Every structure is written in structure tokens, then in C-alpha cells.
């Protein structure tokens, strides 16, 4: 929409001021009384022209006023160019917002973006902290898909390593029943017991290492045991993933790379990237300027480790999917680890895609709302169940104010949504806090508020019971609340792109919150169904556009929105 303004301004800057190819940026002013779009270009280039910024801005405004889409253009402050667009131009541009609500057609033949997320370790139940990688990753995968990218979503399960030796030893020593009859909790209890006993008896650790060696070398019985543990864990995991609307194209655990490490170790040795380190381990050393300490790639007893498997993982993904980008959505605790990993991959001199560790901070509960005995994790499952219960209560407390034929489904949608949204509405790079009150509030930056606003808009449309299709373009004016809502709706495409480029889902969440606020202000102030003349179709079309944006945006964030509530 602003392209014609940009072009016009560039012509003026070239012809009157002799500066060519100036990039122009338009911002939406915070305050609607400053117009629909504002540019600081005059301030930026005034020096070059030898004129005062206001003079440059004046000239730009004169020229822009002649553009068809422009209602008026004014100089503001030290030299901002503020532009008001005609209602026809604004409403015309909303078609783009509408289009942005449906997933873009996949660009064929393009290289995929690999998003790796969740990646829990097997044999332990998911803790609440696992929700971070899981939903940040899923929303980034959804966002890319929505924007037409080919995405490969991968769950890199931690299903390999000495912990399985420990579990095997614990099973043999203390379990009363065979593994196939154990629950995940019982497996966890065995694992915890192993650590307690190993503090008293150091030989247990050696036994565990020996047991894992046997798993690695293909011992049939131990392999069967390991498979069973993976199965038991996956069964539980899948229930949680379904509740969270999370899914993967591939679940390739670390074990998948078992036979893919040797060639890389050979290659690294040949290239001089991996060298014999202290005490017989094989290590990767990094150039001075990286300031990274060496990483072990093969232990002295020839055991491969997490790092080795990640090297093989990268090789496999590159060869199999030919990705343009590989995103690893993993805890900030592994920041240093990923620096070493990427540095090692560079040194191997492979042709690499763009690789990025998408970090996130820790999540804590607002004081004492959910604590647990020291050392125990807060289980994700329990948090979701608790959220369901609390949402159920909120629904009951609202009585007739909440309309639903299926309170159970609504409570699940609201409860799970509340937990997920409170993660995704916070800047992932900071530590996050989880607060039940806030998460379930009906008038704050929360999932229920978004869901409620969507249901409200849908209810208006149901009552209108008519085809709401085009925006009436004959309109001469827009009242303030309409203009604000239009302006916010027009931001949708840009917000999606910004969230993608920065990999920041909270950009989208906070945008949806603003949209809810603007829609509710519009709804509270203006008649919609009872509006007269062209105002009625306009307001209905704006209502529909809002509902579509909220639904599309919510789904990218893995949430669901109800038709009524």
C-alpha cells in the first residue's frame, strides 16, 4: 500500500534534492492523531542535501498530497512526514491482511527449514520446563509453514547414553516387575534410586557403563529392554503432544545416529580437526580467536557422546534434507555447547546451511503457586491438568456470561492455551514467569482474553447472518475506533515476517493482544449490527477480518479459539 508513496517520495528526493535510491521506512505512529504512516526520512537525509529537515519534509508532503491514496500529508516536529490515507486506500489494503490469514502456497523446489525442538530425554516424564522448547519450536515451525516455507520438524530424542546403562542396572537390582509392566513413574523412581545408591557404592557407575556398552554392542536382551523404555516414554509423550497440538515430521532419537558417527570421526582425524587429547580422549580444538575450550568427541574408553551424535545429526540432516536453515530450539544452558558444535562443524569444512541456536531462558512460577519438594521436577502433565481444573472453575464462576455447549472442551482449550500463551507471550530470551492469575485472566494479555475476543467477533457474525465479503470502498470517512482497528489489522503481514526473522513468537502474541484491545474498544463504542448505511457492512467486514486474524495467529501459536464462549 505504501509503495506508491515510497516511489513518489524517492522521485522528489532525487529530482529536488539530488539523492537517489534512498530507502524509505514507514512507521505507524503510536498516536492516531499523527496519521496512518510516518517517515523520518527527511531527518535522516537532511545533512546530505544541505537543507533543514523540515524543508525537505515540507517538499515531500506537498508531493505526497497529490498521490491518489493520500488524504493529507503534514510535517510534524523536527521534520517527520505524517501521512493520512484515504478510507478507500486503507480498506483496499486490508485485502492483503485477509490473504495473510491463510497459509501461503508452498514455494516449490525450495530448500526446507529444519526446526528441531522438544527433544526430551527418554525414561523421564516431561517437566514443565520442557514446554518451552516444545511450544516455541512448534510455533516457529507453524509460522514458517504459514509463510510458505517448506519445514522439516524434528524431535531429537535423548534416547541414548549411559543413563540407559544406569536404568538397566537399577531394573536388574531393584525392580519387582519386568520393564514392560512399568510405568514411566516407576522408571523414574528406579533412576532416582540408582543415583542414591551410587553415592554409597561407586561400583554401580562402572556397572552402568558396562551395561550401556553392552547395549551399544547389540546385546539382545538389553536392547529389548531399551526399546521397551523408549516405547513407554513415547506413549506418555504423545498424549502430551496431542494436548499441546504439537507434531513432528521425524522423531530421530540420538540412537538413530549410532552407526553414523564413525565416518565423521575418521574424517575429522584425517583433516586434523580431531586430535588425541589428554588421557587418550579424542578432542576438537578451536582457533584461538573463538575463545572456546576444546570439546571431547570420543572418550578415552571409545564411547561416543552427545557432541559426537550432534555432529552426525548435522551431517545426516544436510545430506537428507538439503536445508537452507537449521534451527535448534534449545535451552540457554546449552549456549556454549552450541558454539562449540557450530565451530566444530565449521572446521570440518562442510558446506553448511545457516545454523542457529534459538535460545530461551528459564521459566519460574510466580511465588509459591506451584512448588514441589526439592529435586523434583514440576510435571508438565500436572500443570496442564491443574490448568484444566482452574479453567473449569473460571467457566463455572462466569455462569451465563460464558456460553458453550461443551464446557469440558472449552476448559481444555482455555487451560492448555493459558499455559502455552503465557510462555509464547514473553520474550524467549529473558527468564519467564508463570502466574496462574495472569494466565487465566479474561481481560489481560492471556489466552482466554484472545479466545473470548474471537468468540465475541464470531458471535456478531452469526447474528448478522449474511455474507460479509467485500470492504465497502465508497466510504468517505472512518471514525477513530474504525481507523485504529484498520491500522492494527494492516500490521498483520509485517508482524508475521518480523516474528519469523527474529524467531520471536511473542511479537505475534503481543500483536494479537493489541488487536483484541482495539477490537473490543471498537465493539464497545460503536454499533455494529445496528449501524446504519455503509457503516454496517464495513463494521461487519472489520469484525470478520479480526476473527480471521485472531484465529490464524492463535493457531500459529498452537492455540485453538472457540466459536462461542
Task: Pick between residue 423 and residue 468 the one whose CB is nearest to ligand ARG.
Answer: 423
Measure the N-to-C terminal CA separation of the chain; round to a whole number of Å.
Answer: 36
User: By three-state DSSP, how is residue 382 classified?
Assistant: helix
Helices then strands (H, E): number in the chain?
20, 13
- How many CB atoms within 10 Å of residue 167? 26
DSSP codes joined into one string, 88-101? HHHHHHHHHHHHHT
From the list 69, 147, 68, 77, the residue with the least C-alpha distance to 112 is 147
Residues that bind ligand ARG (CB under 6 A): 116, 119-121, 156, 158, 310, 313, 328, 330
The residue (of 325 and 497) whose beta carbon lies closer to ligand ARG is 325
142: cell is: 507453524
CB of 130 to ligand ARG, least distance (A): 8
Q: State the minimum distance, in angstroms, from the CB of residue 292 to ligand ARG.
A: 16
Supply the minimum distance, in Å, between the C-beta of residue 315 and ligand ARG.
13
3-class SS shares of the chain: helix, strand, coil, % to 5 = 55, 10, 30
Quick one: 118 or 544, whose CB is closer to ligand ARG? 118
CB 113 within 8 A of CB 323: yes
- In the complex, what is the shortest distance from the CB of residue 306 to ligand ARG, in angstroms, rounded to a whole number? 7
Q: What is the β-pairing status of strands 250-251 and 151-155?
A: parallel
To ligand ARG, the closest distance from the beta carbon of 337 in angstroms equals 7
Q: Which is nearer to ligand ARG, 305 or 490 (CB)?
A: 305
Q: Given the C-alpha cell 516387575, which residue does it identify?
A: 177
Cβ proximity to ligand ARG, 9 vs 132, nearer residue: 132
Q: Can you tell me whether residue 365 is helix, strand or coil?
A: strand
Query: Closest separation between CB of residue 116 and ligand ARG, Å?
Result: 6
By C-beta, is 161 or 562 nearer to ligand ARG? 161
239: enclosing H helix or E strand:
helix 220-244
Using the minimum distance from each CB to ligand ARG, give the nearer residue, 253 or 417: 253
Smallest distance, ligand ARG to C-beta of residue 328, A: 5
Residue 123: all three cell numbers together? 525414561
Minimum gap (Å) between residue 246 Cβ and ligand ARG: 16
Which residue's entry shows cell 487451560? 415
Contact 384, 392 (CB under 8 A): no
Q: Which residue is nearest to ligand ARG (CB)?
A: 158
| Closest to ligand ARG by CB, 106 or 129 | 129
Amino acid at each position: 500500500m505504501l509503495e506508491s508513496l515510497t516511489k513518489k517520495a524517492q522521485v522528489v528526493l532525487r529530482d529536488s534534492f539530488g539523492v537517489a535510491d534512498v530507502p524509505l521506512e514507514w512507521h505507524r505512529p503510536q498516536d492516531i492523531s499523527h496519521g496512518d504512516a510516518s517517515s523520518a526520512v527527511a531527518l535522516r537525509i537532511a545533512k546530505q542535501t544541505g537543507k533543514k529537515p523540515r524543508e525537505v519534509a515540507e517538499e515531500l508532503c506537498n508531493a505526497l498530497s497529490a498521490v491518489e491514496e493520500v488524504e493529507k500529508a503534514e510535517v510534524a516536529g523536527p521534520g517527520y512526514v505524517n501521512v493520512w490515507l484515504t478510507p478507500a486506500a486503507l480498506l483496499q489494503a486490508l485485502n492483503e491482511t485477509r490473504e495473510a490469514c491463510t497459509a501461503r502456497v508452498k514455494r516449490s523446489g525450495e530448500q526446507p527449514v529444519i526446526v528441531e525442538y522438544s527433544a526430551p530425554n527418554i525414561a523421564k516424564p516431561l517437566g514443565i520446563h520442557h514446554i518451552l522448547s516444545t511450544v516455541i519450536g512448534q510455533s516457529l515451525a507453524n509460522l514458517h509453514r504459514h509463510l510458505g516455507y517448506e519445514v522439516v520438524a524434528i524431535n531429537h530424542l535423548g534416547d541414548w547414553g549411559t543413563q540407559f546403562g544406569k536404568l538397566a542396572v537399577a531394573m536388574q537390582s531393584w525392580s519387582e516387575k519386568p520393564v514392560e509392566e512399568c510405568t514411566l513413574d516407576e522408571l523414574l523412581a528406579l533412576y532416582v534410586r540408582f543415583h542414591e545408591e551410587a553415592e554409597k557404592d561407586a561400583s554401580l557407575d562402572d556397572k552402568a557403563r558396562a551395561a550401556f556398552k553392552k547395549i551399544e554392542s547389540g546385546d539382545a536382551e538389553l536392547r529389548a529392554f531399551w526399546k521397551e523404555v523408549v516405547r513407554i516414554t513415547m506413549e506418555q509423550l504423545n498424549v502430551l503432544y496431542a494436548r499441546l497440538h504439537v507434531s513432528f515430521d521425524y522423531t530421530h532419537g540420538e540412537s538413530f545416529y549410532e552407526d553414523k558417527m564413525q565416518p565423521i570421526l575418521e574424517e575429522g582425524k584425517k583433516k586434523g580437526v580431531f586430535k588425541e587429547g589428554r588421557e587418550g580422549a579424542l578432542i576438537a580444538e578451536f582457533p584461538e580467536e573463538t575463545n572456546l575450550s576444546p570439546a571431547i568427541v570420543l572418550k578415552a574408553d571409545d564411547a561416543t557422546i552427545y557432541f559426537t551424535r550432534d555432529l552426525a545429526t548435522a551431517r545426516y540432516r544436510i545430506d537428507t534434507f538439503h536445508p537452507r536453515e537449521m534451527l535448534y530450539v534449545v535451552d540457554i544452558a546449552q549456549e556454549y555447547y552450541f558454539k562449540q558444535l557450530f565451530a566444530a562443524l565449521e572446521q570440518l569444512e562442510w558446506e553448511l546451511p545457516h545454523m542457529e541456536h534459538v535460545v530461551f531462558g528459564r521459566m519460574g512460577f510466580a511465588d509459591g503457586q506451584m512448588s514441589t519438594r526439592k529435586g523434583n521436577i514440576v510435571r508438565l502433565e500436572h500443570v496442564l491438568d491443574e490448568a484444566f481444573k482452574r479453567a473449569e472453575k473460571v467457566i463455572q464462576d462466569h455462569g451465563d456470561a460464558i456460553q458453550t455447549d461443551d464446557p469440558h472442551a472449552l476448559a481444555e482449550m482455555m487451560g492448555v492455551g493459558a499455559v502455552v500463551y503465557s510462555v509464547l507471550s514473553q520474550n524467549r530470551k529473558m527468564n519467564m514467569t508463570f502466574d496462574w492469575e495472569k494466565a487465566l485472566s479474561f481481560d489481560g494479555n492471556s489466552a482466554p482474553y484472545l479466545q473470548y475476543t474471537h468468540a465475541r467477533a464470531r458471535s456478531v457474525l452469526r447474528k448478522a447472518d449474511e455474507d460479509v465479503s467485500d470492504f465497502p470502498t465508497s466510504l468517505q470517512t472512518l471514525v477513530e475506533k474504525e481507523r485504529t482497528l484498520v491500522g492494527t489489522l494492516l500490521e498483520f503481514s509485517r508482524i508475521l515476517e518480523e516474528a519469523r526473522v527474529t524467531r520471536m513468537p511473542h511479537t505475534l502474541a503481543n500483536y494479537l493482544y493489541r488487536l483484541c484491545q482495539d477490537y473490543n474498544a471498537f465493539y464497545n463504542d460503536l454499533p455494529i449490527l445496528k449501524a446504519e448505511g455503509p457503516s454496517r457492512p464495513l463494521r461487519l467486514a472489520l469484525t470478520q477480518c479480526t476473527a480471521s486474524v485472531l484465529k490464524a495467529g492463535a493457531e500459529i501459536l498452537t492455540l485453538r479459539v472457540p466459536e462461542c464462549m
